[in-house]
């Protein structure tokens, strides 16, 4: 049994997309960042870091976007969210997700200039390829998609500045699992654009 602690529109959206991609059954627990639901004693007892996403797998707690995405890709291989039979390609997925968590997500706190620089690096890393790793969609594309989805309006990233990222973003946005996630999170409630990306 999976219990998914998340907040609509936040980092946890990437994991929400992967849950829908895999079709894994899960119990949804939506938390409000504004109401500081992630800082309650009850939630801190589950995740002492007080952050979403938090996935509880049969009583075991898993945190961080990259960890949760990796789990879902490995636990539900039929969804094809990881390159198969290629260790170097799997390592590339880890490399992208580490870069996205430490180099792109954190840039938000340093302001728009740092975010622009981070996406310029992502653009160079993509180097005109369709997907972050190999020739098909994987969890690192979901991770990149969600950051661009959030940061483009929040940090005024102009159309045409990061063409490879934008192209990947548009193809991921069109996926049924992504549309389902956006519908579910919109119904739960969030407002975009925001002046402060979480």
Ligand X SMILES: N[C@@H](CCC(=O)N[C@@H](CS)C(=O)NCC(=O)O)C(=O)O
Q: Which is nearer to ligand X, 12 or 22 (CB)?
A: 12
Shortest spacing between CB 13 and ligand X, in angstroms: 9
Cα–Cα distance, 69 to 178 (Å, whole number): 14
Of 3, 24, 33, 182, the one binding ligand X (CB under 6 A) is 33
Residue 130 or 182: the one with the smaller Cβ distance to ligand X is: 182
User: Are the beta carbons of 154 and 195 closer than 8 angstroms?
Assistant: yes
Counting contacts by CB under 6 A, is residue 46 touching ligand X?
no
User: Which of 4, 8, 10, 162 contacts ligand X by CB under 6 A?
Assistant: 10
Task: Indicate whether 11 belongs to the interface with ligand X (CB under 6 A).
Answer: yes
Q: Using CB under 6 A, pick the residue from 17, 18, 52, 157 that binds ligand X.
A: 52
DSSP string, the chain: -EEEEE-TTSTTHHHHHHHHHHT--EEEEE--TTTTGGGSHHHHHH-TT--S-EEEETTEEEESHHHHHHHHHHH-GGG--S-SS-HHHHHHHHHHHHHIIIIIITHHHH-HHHHHHHHHHHHHHHTT-SSSSTTS--HHHHHHHHHHHHHHHHTTPPTTSSHHHHHHHHHHHTSHHHHHHHHHHHHH---SS-SS--
- Binding to ligand X by CB under 6 A, coded x per residue (else -) over 80-119, reads ---------------------x------------------
Give whichever of 65 and 72 is closer to ligand X, judged by the CB atom: 65
Select from 20-28, 49-57, 114-122, 130-138 the region that touches ligand X (CB under 6 A). Answer: 49-57
Residue 59 CB, nearest approach to ligand X (Å) = 20
Q: Between residues 112 and 198, which has the closer beta carbon with respect to ligand X? A: 198
């Amino acid at each position: 049994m999976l219990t998914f602690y998340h907040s609509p529109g936040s980092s946890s959206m990437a994991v929400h997309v992967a849950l829908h991609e895999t079709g894994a059954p899960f119990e949804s627990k939506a938390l409000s960042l504004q109401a500081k639901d992630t800082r309650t004693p009850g939630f801190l007892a589950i995740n002492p870091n007080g952050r979403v996403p938090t996935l509880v797998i049969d009583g075991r707690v898993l945190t961080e976007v990259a960890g949760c995405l990796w789990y879902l890709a490995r636990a539900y291989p039929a969804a094809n969210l990881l390159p198969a039979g290629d260790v170097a390609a799997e390592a590339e997925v880890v490399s992208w997700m580490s870069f996205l968590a430490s180099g792109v997500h954190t840039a938000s706190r340093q302001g728009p200039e740092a975010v622009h620089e981070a996406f310029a690096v992502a653009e160079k890393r993509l180097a005109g390829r369709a997907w972050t790793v190999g020739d098909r969609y994987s969890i690192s594309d979901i991770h990149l998609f969600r950051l661009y989805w959030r940061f483009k309006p929040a940090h005024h990233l102009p159309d045409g500045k990061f063409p490879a990222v934008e192209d990947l973003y548009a193809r991921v946005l069109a996926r049924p699992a992504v549309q389902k996630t956006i519908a579910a999170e919109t119904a739960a409630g969030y407002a975009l654009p925001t002046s402060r990306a979480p």
